[in-house]
Structure 1
């Protein structure tokens, strides 16, 4: 008996003896280290750098569309066709802008972000060369090359969203997405000005040479610096992929890779169309698409309405008018990202306090951010009803200021507010979509793109007819009314979101 007590004493006192207690202590230490393992090996500064590169690439999606608008009359004259015929290239561009990310985004979720980024930019670069050299007798070739251009440029937004899902935790994604959307918002602000100046000073072909040089530069930048981030290939970034996936100059994550890290399982190709059958996802996609379509209707009618209501404006002046709505969008990209992160922290702090005060300890404070416990819909959509209300009021007011031909400063100020609220709303919804399906962030962004571009193309094709029939005042009352009718979808998202997520978790567990 004494010998047994001595043996037990030795097992507790001397960890190296290999007893039961040391084994448990070692297991607890390993579990603690696993729980404290960071989501990504990259530092916060390195993450910002990666997001900045993605944002630069995403600039081309709206830039290639907006830089074309001021040159439409000149191109129509060069091709000896009507403006309506050239506008068909805009419609075709928007259709491909919506469809192509479904292909590229799905591929990026399977074979990697980096090769798809490079592929898209290569397609964009060569299509711009073709457009710069297209003969004016080949209108069909102009249409074809514009479609190819859209196929190359449009997917960069979905790819960038995928990168954010790879490297950012839910607490970081709001800020990252705010910086990321800075690139796509600069396009609508500067595109018309750049296009107008180039078309006026160097001719319309210079627009496509400019895009060719810019896309080639971005291609070289990504080839040199951007690492592969797809978690199915590199995990948290510590797994070394094949040389094809490595940057030429690995300046991020250097010295933190693990050569012995286990390679993630081979990726499978998921069908993005099945995402449309998730009720919470479909609800968010439709709501976001309605606001985007109204925004695009406002943006595409700026040139024609301002030219008719304020005839003292020349082409360059009208191009500068786009700075108002673009400026509001750029400001919103910075502030809305911080707001989303602050709302996440505020929601987390409230839940932690509630968990600490719960006598039954049904949820531990450290577990409040787990998917099954955290109300991510409330955290992301907390301010969206307010922004949507301001968006609707601004839209209707903007139409009537143009109808009454008030001082030009008034509609321009309303454009700033309009641009701010639409970006704040869309950023919140887009960040939530990534939170819902982070492993398919490129695919979900592609779905968002196809829905909103399809609806946007539909509204753009008829908005000029509506303005000519009932005037800008009643046109924007109509568009604002559509947004008002869709506003209950915000509360529907908060109500059905947790139920839909629980259903998906149960399905994944059963599988």
Structure 2
């Protein structure tokens, strides 16, 4: 399997094309470091709006229930349908972007989000069914931005630098659950529930404008390494990114073939991918459940806190996520370079990415269990807030690592791979959210989160299995795909 990794790395780092009698080594991407960071910043901003419409909405649920004349249980249906479409819609948009381009799908999805948010801001209170319908469209428009962003990062970055870029990109999707409730609480309390959706309209419209003006098409089957001219409909309106390099470099050989199938469900048949999806899904679901129940837990044990203050209690977790994202991204790139140099022909990407995982996983388990007992013991508010910092740090470390590796091993189908990740983690999160109140009522917070910490501990053997068998499974799959491709070319 070592030779497979070496060949993949050589293909990843540079594209070779014949020019006349010589051979010219072409860069994997024509974009400079600053231009790549600008692209990552734009897609990270778009990714921020995937979970934001769900989390900014939470504080307004009681107010909306009164306004629409519905019970809290009935209003929670709007949360359920949002999670369902958040899980399913990337399975459509992700593969489409892998086939037809990132930029066009971004514009369509963000436009749907703007339109549905306008509809929710104007929704008559006597039409609850319309609110449910608009939430479906809102989720369908917002959920896919994470899969699209992962695809863009796979397009422009090599394996050796991908950890850093993906770490910063993940800040957007992971910070929204922390910032959203605080923002939603203030808006709902001060300006009314409709102001939440008007704020979303303004924020997303700004993001949509940035994407339309500046984001280049990055799909390698269309734009190659960025040097190949793309159709007018796929061009940035103000092409400031890569403009200088595009005039100097032009190489059709950097254009890769698109996959014939756009069905992402086939990825669930790959054992190494299943292991990563299981790992990512369980950690995300446990962390999301804690984050989503901060407001209810704090209002129960600290009744003197206002809605605005409770919303601000999400910020320590957000700070931990910033620390985790920044540290993990740099550590992944550093570990990749170090292990590649030390291992030589025995290098495997699975070991390089997952070597630091036991540290993150053990600390995450300790934090999960500590959170449950701190809430049950009604500890001083500083205790769960400090635990929240470490939860944010370790959860980001784990998710950045597994999602980066998922893109590494499925680079040509990165949006589809991330869509599968989104399906698994959102589905598991929806299930956990639906049962967590019953569990804490029956067992108490301490034993409930001790149970979930134990479930997370069972992930350690899965990680060791991925390190040992992942290269074998991947090598067999790549060999089969290569043989199939050669047969197709002969035919």
Task: With the length of structure 2 as denominator, give the TM-score of the two structures.
Answer: 0.92
Instruction: Decide which of 139, 157, 170 is 1:181's aligned counterpart.
Output: 170
Q: Could you list the per-position Cα deviations for residues 330-373 of structure 1 after superposition, in whole angstroms to 9, with x for gaps in the alignment?
A: 22111110011011011112134xxxxxxxxxx5xxxxxxxxx6
Aligned: 1:203 with 2:203: no
CA contact (8 A) 1:155 1:446 kept: yes
Please say if residues 376 and 446 of structure 2, whose CA atoms lie closer than 8 Å, have aligned partners that are also in contact. yes
**Contact 2:164-2:333 within 8 A present in 1 as well:** yes
Matches within 5 A, 1:152-301: 152-257=141-246, 258=249, 261=252, 268-301=260-293
The aligned counterpart of 2:478 is 505
2:428 matched to 1:475? Answer: no
What is the match of residue 318 of structure 2?
326
Rg bigger for which structure? Answer: 1
- 1:496 is aligned to 469
For 1:136, what is the secondary structure of its paired residue?
coil
Distance 1:475-1:331 versus aligned 2 partners, 3 A rule: same
1:421 and 2:394 are equivalent in the alignment:
yes
**1:101 alignment partner in structure 2:** 90
* Alpha-carbon distance, 1:38 to partner: 1.0
Partners in 1 of 2:364 and 2:472 — Cα distance? 29
Match of 2:122 among 122, 133, 140: 133
CA distance in structure 1 between the aligned counterparts of 2:20 and 2:99, rounded to whole angstroms: 35
SS in 1 for 2:70: coil
Name the CA distance, whole Å, in 2 between partners of 1:461 and 1:390: 26
The equivalent residue for 1:338 is 330
- Residue 350 (structure 2) pairs with residue 377 (structure 1): yes
Q: Secondary structure of 1:61's match?
A: coil
**Aligned 8 A contact 1:309 1:405 in 2:** yes
The residue aligned with 1:430 is 403
- Higher mean Cα deviation, 185-194 or 166-175? 185-194
Distance change in 2, residues 1:140/1:350 (3 Å) = same
- Asked if the contact 2:367/2:391 (under 8 Å) is kept, the reply is yes
Q: CA deviation at 1:374?
A: 3.4
Q: Which moved more, 1:322-331 or 1:126-135?
A: 322-331
Alignment of 1:374-453 (within 5 A): 374-453=347-426
User: What is the CA–CA distance in structure 2 between the aligned matches of 1:72 and 1:317, rounded to whole Å?
Assistant: 17
Structure 1 416/349 Cα, relative in aligned 2: closer, same or farther at 3 Å? same
Q: Hey, what's the Cα distance between the residues in 1 that align with 2:482 and 2:187?
A: 57
Q: Aligned runs of 1:80-99 on 2, under 5 Å?
A: 80-99=69-88
Tell me the distance in 2 between the aligned counterparts of 1:112 and 1:338. 29
Alignment match, 1:455: 428
Give me the whole-angstrom Cα distance separating, in 2, the residues matched to 1:490 and 1:150. 32
CA distance in 2, matches of 1:260, 1:468: 63
Give the Å deviation of 1:416.
0.5
Report if aligned partners of 1:189, 1:327 keep a CA contact under 8 Å in 2: no
SS of aligned partner of 1:232: helix
Question: 1:265: Cα distance to partner?
Answer: 5.0
Compute the displacement of 1:186 (Å): 2.3
Partner of 1:507, secondary structure, is helix
Offset, 1:485: 2.0
Contact persistence 1:394–1:418 (CA under 8 A): yes
Shift of 1:396: 0.5
Contact 1:107/1:269 (<8 A) preserved = no
Gaps of 5+ in 2: 1-17, 485-491
CA deviations on 1:40-62 (whole Å, 9 max, x unpaired) are 11111111110110001000011
Shift of 1:270: 2.1
Following superposition, the deviation at residue 267 of structure 1 comes to 6.1
Shift of 1:255: 2.8
In 1, the alpha carbon distance for the partners of 2:390 and 2:283 equals 14
Contact 1:111 1:267 in 2 (8 A): no
1:116-131 matches, within 5 Å, as 116-131=105-120
The structural deviation recorded for 1:439 is 0.5
Q: Distance in 2 between matches of 1:495 and 1:249?
A: 47
TM-aligned CA distance change 1:28 to 1:504, over 3 Å: farther
Q: Deviations over 1:35-86 (max 9, x none)?
A: xx21011111111110110001000011111100111111111111111111
Count of residues in correspondence between the two structures? 464
Residues 178, 291 of structure 2: 8 Å contact kept? no
Q: Which runs of 4+ in 1 moved over 6 A?
A: 26-29
1:182 & 1:297 partners in 2: Cα distance? Answer: 18
Distance 2:483 2:256 in 1: 22
- 2:35 matched to 1:43? no
